[in-house]
Amino acid sequence: MSTLTARWFRCPRPLPQAAHRLFCLPYAGAGAGVFHPWPAALAPDVEVLGVQLPGRENRIVEPAEIDLAELAAAVTDATTSDGRPYALYGHSLGARLAFELIRTLRRAGASLPVRLYVGAARAPHLTGSATFDGLSRVPGDELLARVVAGGGVPEAVAGEPELLELLLPTLRADFTWLDDYVYQPEAPLPVPIRAVAGTLDRAVSMEQMAGWERHTSAGFVLHHVEGGHFFLQDRQADLIALLSADLTTLAGDR
């Protein structure tokens, strides 16, 4: 494993013979640890790699700045040396990052994923979320209060003010990236998109999730999960079952 790959990805259960690899990008403030339980629950022929963004977990000492070019280089390094098809799952912030990651890979002429799974994130060309928009520009106490109210941090952390303060710089950096994001039109991705919406999500509507259809020329499906914005935790079994079924279908097609 190269230094670049080791820095950007966490693989709780290496499966070198697995048919597919699934790179997972977390929501704002979170690290690759969010996806640590996934390998045990996903289809046995899927290897899970959590994307470790800087400024969290084992990269806590690094500035929490997102470098898409370096992440794209890391994905290219990992997938070129491996040769297996791969997919991306991104949740909330992670979905927007995954989308821009694929566009960065396409510009570089690199290998693209066979699927893009997006959860709890409005389509890139849309604006407007009363829950999370503008959070990078509010005082720290308000930022933390709104994120906690939206369910954006684990309960164990939400009840510990000192832990929340440690999380604040990463949250602010992530929401700065989101608040500064300006969608630039490009050709739709030649990658199928599977969007997953929480039926109880107050931050992202079904219509905003359906908007992802315009960003692919290779097929779109909108799935529903009975949960809120963070259904990857609240309804993890349902989400993983959905992903496993689709990835198993891909493996069968191969």
Q: Give catalytic residue positions.
A: 92
* Adjacent-strand bridge partners of 46: 20
Structure tokens at 56: 């969290």
Considering only CA atoms, give the Rg of the chain.
17
Nearest 5°: phi and psi at 204?
Answer: -135, 125
Residue 184: partners with Cβ closer than 8 Å, 6 or more residues away: none
Nearest 5°: phi and psi at 92?
Answer: 60, -115
If one counts every other C-beta atom within 10 angstroms of the C-beta of residue 226, the result is 11
Distance CA 59, CA 67 (A): 14
96 CB-contact burial (10 Å; exposed 0-12 / middle 13-18 / buried 19+): buried
DSSP state of 151: T
Side-chain half-sphere of 96: how many Cα atoms within 13 Å? 24
Distance CA 132, CA 120 (A): 12
User: Which amino acid does the sequence have at 170?
Assistant: T
Distance CA 95, CA 191 (A): 14
